[in-house]
């Protein structure tokens, strides 16, 4: 019986799709457009996030060492660094290497260095961390280690950068939430119009003694199909458009970090399909409920 | 079959649609509900199929107190009540056959039962040869017959008709009336809200007159 009913509900949903083909197409196109806007925004914010992460990953701690450090002390210090949670990479820069770097940086002016008898530059460690927020805490920890002369991490710049990325991320999240909320409202209103066009049918069904679920099922299936088809359509358009767009951006700004792996984009596509289908189902369910009380 | 005890119905705009209605309609009766527009006839019918609940008083339909009926049980009450509207309420994107089968499917009839019943009621109202066409190609009288066929397809105990001859010429009206009498003879209780003086006088059935929400006259073999 349930199976037979389900077949009936599906047939009814498909028939109604065919009966009001123009209306169904208009509905699908409208929902597709809205989901496209949401999708474009998500893609932009994902790439922006990658850019911010990239920016944050440039943050590093430089640990200057005392002059008279022995190899044993150096090894102890390296072990100490490794025992700290949150350190991604430790790079030792010897006095000689520091000197060479400086001389390279000075370029044509490197002759100035010949005026100095002894290499004045200290040996150092360059430390990259996993979580940018932890930079201050880790730096403070390192200050306490033996033979550490000075710890530098561009405190002010780091703070400014972290503040900036924090605000940017929060603002992006807020806009995304608002956009998703608006799209839910718009899609459910579009579906409400399609249900409104068939309110007579709902009223008649209710008057002949159909249970509310019997009335609702074909509409739920139709709402799901409208949402699903629209979201799949918008995902396909979005993916093609995206790869076309990043090609152009890459040519213009080659060093800009962009999400290029389609596997990374899969969750976005799935989220859009889920959003479209779910709003289609719920929108039609609630709209039918409104006309059922006759 | 239908009993009302001190029934009042007020609408939110403070209009008293019905006031102190007491009535008993027996099984198999044919009752005309008459009165001017706005007298409360439609409200009276709506109470029976639980389109609304009374503000005060009791409405008992086939032993069920409709005011206490939980929403989930309303469909089961309605399966015993056929309703025919003046404005037909047909689905114009479906065929004559589908307009009837759709209602039967809604109450869980099997495909075999649906085929049998649709054939039976279409024969009864004389529309068997038009089962494949859409309702907008039918005349007003035929559309009303289709409404009646849909309303009686599941063999309800009660048939409520709200001015079914309101838009029809006298000849077609009488055809509809004959059809309703025929259904009544087979045991269905019929309540018909009407303005059709000619039909009511000719029918010689019970007439309940409603005015300003009150029953002011209730006569067996009455006239308009």
Which of B75, B91, B102 lies at the smallest CB-CB distance from A211? B75
CA–CA dist A288, B70 (Å, integer): 19
ipTM summary value: 0.85
Considering only the beta carbons, identify the residue of A203, A204, A209 that sits closest to B107.
A209
Do both B16 and B123 map to the same domain? no
- Cβ pair A211:B103 closer than 8 A: no
pLDDT digits (tens, 9 = 90+) for B7-24: 999 998 888 899 999 999
Same domain as B192, residue B131: no
Q: What average pLDDT does this structure show over A42-70?
A: 87
Q: At B134, which helix (H) or strand (E)? A: none
- Together in a domain, B4 and B66: yes
Say which residue the tokens 């859409």 belong to: B134
Q: Which residues of B touch A19 (CB under 8 A)?
A: 93
CA distances from A9 to A152, A175, A221, B103 (A): 69, 38, 8, 14
- Return the residue of A nearest to B102 by Cα: A205
Provide φ and ψ at B93, rounded to 5°: -95, 10
- B72 contacts in chain A (CB < 8 Å): 211-212
User: DSSP alpha helices (H): ranges in A58-106?
Assistant: 71-83, 95-106
Chain B contact for A107, CB < 8 A? no
The domain that holds B75 is classified in CATH as 3.40.50.300
Q: Which chain B residues contact residue A210 at CB under 8 A?
A: 75, 103, 106-107
Does a structural domain hold residue B26?
A: yes
Asked, for residue B177, whether it belongs to a domain, the answer is no
Q: Is residue B175 part of a domain?
A: no
Structural contact between residues B180 and B205, judged by C-beta atoms closer than 8 angstroms: no
What pLDDT shows up at residue B188? 94
User: Per the CB < 8 Å rule, is A200 touching B150?
Assistant: no
Smallest CA–CA distance, residue B169 to chain A, in Å, is 26
Please compute Rg for chain A using Cα positions: 31
Contact between B172 and B148 (Cβ < 8 Å): no
What pLDDT, on the 0 to 100 scale, is given for residue B129? 93
Tokens of B113: 């039962």
Any chain B CB within 8 A of the CB of A215? Answer: yes
Q: What are phi and psi of B215, to 5 degrees?
A: -85, 115
Is pLDDT above 70 for B73? yes
Q: Over chain A, what is the mean pLDDT?
A: 87
Of the residues A200, A209, A292, the best mutation for testing chain B's interface (the one with the most B CB atoms within 10 Å of its CB) is A209
Residues B128, B151 within the same domain = yes
Q: Mind telling me how many Å the CA of B178 is from chain A's nearest CA?
A: 23
Is B151 in the same domain as B161? no
Structural domain ending residue among the three candidates B135, B155, B175: B155
pLDDT value of residue B112: 93
H/E run at residue B192: strand B189-193
Name the pLDDT band for A2 (thresholds 50, 70, 90): low
Tokens at residue A257, please? 């970090």
A214, B51: Cβ pair inside 8 Å?
no
CB-nearest partner of B93 from A19, A207, A212 = A19
What's the pLDDT score for residue A205?
87
Chain B interface, Cβ < 8 Å to A: 49, 51, 72, 75-79, 81, 83, 89, 91, 93, 102-103, 105-108, 150, 154
Within this chain, do residues B25 and B126 fall inside the same structural domain, yes or no? no
Q: Are B191 and B25 in contact (CB under 8 A)?
A: yes
Helix (H) or strand (E) holding B211: strand B206-211
For residues B30 and B192, the answer to whether their CB atoms sit within 8 Å is: yes
Residues A47 and A39: their CA atoms lie apart, in Å, by 12
Q: What is the mean pLDDT of residues A219-235?
A: 94
Q: For chain A, what are the domain ranges? A: 2-55+162-292, 60-152
User: Is the domain of B56 the same as that of B93?
Assistant: no
- Number of domains present in the structure of chain B: 2
Q: Are B59 and B163 found together in one domain? A: yes
Nearest to B160 by CA among B81, B74, B51: B81
Residue A192 contacts residue A247 (beta carbons within 8 Å):
no
Gyration radius of chain B over CA positions: 17
The rounded distance, in Å, linking the Cα atoms of A201 and A215 is 9
Higher pLDDT, A156 or B61: B61
- Residue in B104, B154, B135 with CA at minimum distance from that of residue A214: B104
Which of B74, B112, B121, B160 has the highest number of chain A CBs within 10 A, making it the mutation to test binding with A? Answer: B74
* Residue at B221 is within a domain: yes
Is B67 domain-assigned?
yes
Q: Is the sign of the CA dihedral A221, A227, A230, A236 positive or negative?
A: negative
B118 domain-assigned: yes
Whether residues B67 and B161 fall in one domain: yes
A200 touches chain B (CB under 8 A): yes
User: Which of A200, A210, A214 minimises the CB distance to B89?
Assistant: A200
Query: Which sign does the torsion angle of CA A91, A94, A97, A101 carry?
Result: positive
Are A223 and A281 a contacting pair, CB within 8 Å?
Answer: yes
| Residues A8-18 pLDDT 10s | 888 888 888 88
| Domain containing residue B2 | 1-80+157-167+184-224
Record: contact A209-B75, CB cut-off 8 A = yes
Would the pLDDT of A261 be above 90? no
d(CA B7, CA A107): 103
Q: Which residue of B has its CA nearest to A293?
A: B51
Which chain A positions have a beta carbon within 8 Å of B83's beta carbon? 207
Q: Position of tokens 């008649």?
A: A204
pLDDT band at A225 (very low <50, low <70, confident <90, very high): very high
SS3 state of residue A269: helix
DSSP string, A114-170: GG-SS--PPPEEEEEES-GGGHHHHHHHHHTSTTEEEEE--HHHHHHHHHHHHHHHH
Find the closest chain B residue to A2 by CA distance: B108
Q: Could you tell me the fold of the domain covering A60-152?
A: Alpha-Beta Plaits (3.30.70)
**In whole angstroms, what separates CA B82 from the centre of its chain?**
6
Say yes or no: B70 and B35 in one domain.
yes
Angle made by CA atoms A286, A288, A292, in degrees to the nearest 5: 115
Q: Report residue A238 CA to chain centroid gap.
A: 15
For residues B149 and B188, membership in a common domain is answered with no
Residue A56 contacts residue A161 (beta carbons within 8 Å): yes
| Rounded Cα gap, residues B121 and B115, in angstroms | 10
Per-residue pLDDT for A1 more than 60?
Answer: no
The predicted pLDDT at position B88 comes to 87
Contact B21, B214 (CB under 8 A): yes
Residue B172 lies in a domain: no
* pLDDT score of B137 more than 80: yes
HSE-CB at B151 with a 13 A cutoff on CA atoms is 30
Sequential DSSP letters for A206-265: HHTT--HHHHHHHHHHHHHHHHHHHHHHHHHHHHHHHHHHHHHHHHHSTTS-----HHHH
In angstroms, the CA B138 to CA A158 distance is 80
Shortest CA gap B95–chain A (Å): 12
| Chain A residues within an 8 Å CB radius of B88 | none
Closest to B92 (Cα-Cα) out of B146, B131, B134, B122? B134
Residues B103, B5 within the same domain: no
Mean pLDDT of B170-185: 90
pLDDT by residue (tens digit) across B30-54? 999 999 888 889 999 999 999 999 9
């Amino acid at each position: 019986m349930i199976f037979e009913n389900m077949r009936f509900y599906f047939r009814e949903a498909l028939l109604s799709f065919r009966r009001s083909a123009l209306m169904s197409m208009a509905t699908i196109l409208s929902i597709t457009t809205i989901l496209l806007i949401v999708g474009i925004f998500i893609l932009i914010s994902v790439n922006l996030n990658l850019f911010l992460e990239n920016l944050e990953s440039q943050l590093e701690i430089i640990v200057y060492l005392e002059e008279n450090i022995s190899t044993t002390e150096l090894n102890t210090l390296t072990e100490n660094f490794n025992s700290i949670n949150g350190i991604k990479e430790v790079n030792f820069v010897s006095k000689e290497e520091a000197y060479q770097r400086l001389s390279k940086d000075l370029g044509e002016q490197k002759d100035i260095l010949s005026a100095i008898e002894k290499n004045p530059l200290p040996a150092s460690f360059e430390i990259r961390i996993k979580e940018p927020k932890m930079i201050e805490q880790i730096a403070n920890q390192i200050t306490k280690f033996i033979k550490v002369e000075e710890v530098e991490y561009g405190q002010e710049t780091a703070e400014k950068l972290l503040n900036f990325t924090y605000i940017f991320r929060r603002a992006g999240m807020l806009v995304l939430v608002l956009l998703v909320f608006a799209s839910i409202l718009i899609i459910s209103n579009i579906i409400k119009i399609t249900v409104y066009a068939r309110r007579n049918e709902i009223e008649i069904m209710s008057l002949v003694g159909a249970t509310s679920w019997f009335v609702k099922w074909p509409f739920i299936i139709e709402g799901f199909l409208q949402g699903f088809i629209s979201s799949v359509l918008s995902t396909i358009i979005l993916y093609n458009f995206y790869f076309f767009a990043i090609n152009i951006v890459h040519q213009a700004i080659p060093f800009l970090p962009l999400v290029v792996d389609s596997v990374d984009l899969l969750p976005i596509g799935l989220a859009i399909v889920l959003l479209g289908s779910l709003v289609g189902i719920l929108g039609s369910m609630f709209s039918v409920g409104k006309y059922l009380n006759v | 079959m239908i009993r009302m005890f001190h029934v009042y119905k007020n609408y939110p705009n403070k209009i008293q649609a019905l006031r102190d209605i007491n009535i008993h309609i027996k099984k198999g009766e044919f009752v005309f509900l008459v009165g001017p527009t706005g007298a409360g006839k439609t409200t009276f019918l709506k109470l029976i199929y639980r389109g609304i609940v009374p503000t005060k008083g009791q409405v008992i339909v086939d032993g069920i107190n409709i005011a206490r009926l939980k929403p989930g049980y309303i469909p089961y009450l309605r399966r015993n009540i056929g309703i025919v509207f003046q404005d037909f309420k047909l689905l114009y994107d479906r065929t004559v056959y589908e307009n009837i089968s759709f209602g039967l499917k809604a109450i869980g009839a099997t495909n075999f039962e649906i085929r049998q019943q649709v054939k039976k009621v279409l024969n009864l109202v004389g529309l068997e040869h038009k089962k494949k066409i859409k309702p907008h190609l039918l005349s007003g009288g035929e559309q009303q017959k289709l409404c009646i066929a849909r309303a009686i397809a599941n063999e309800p105990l009660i048939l409520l008709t709200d001015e079914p001859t309101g838009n029809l010429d006298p000849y077609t009206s009488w055809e509809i009336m004959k059809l309703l009498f025929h259904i009544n003879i087979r045991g269905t209780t019929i309540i018909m809200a009407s303005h059709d003086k000619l039909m009511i006088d000719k029918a010689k059935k019970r007439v309940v007159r409603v005015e300003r929400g009150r029953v002011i006259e209730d006569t067996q073999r009455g006239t308009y």
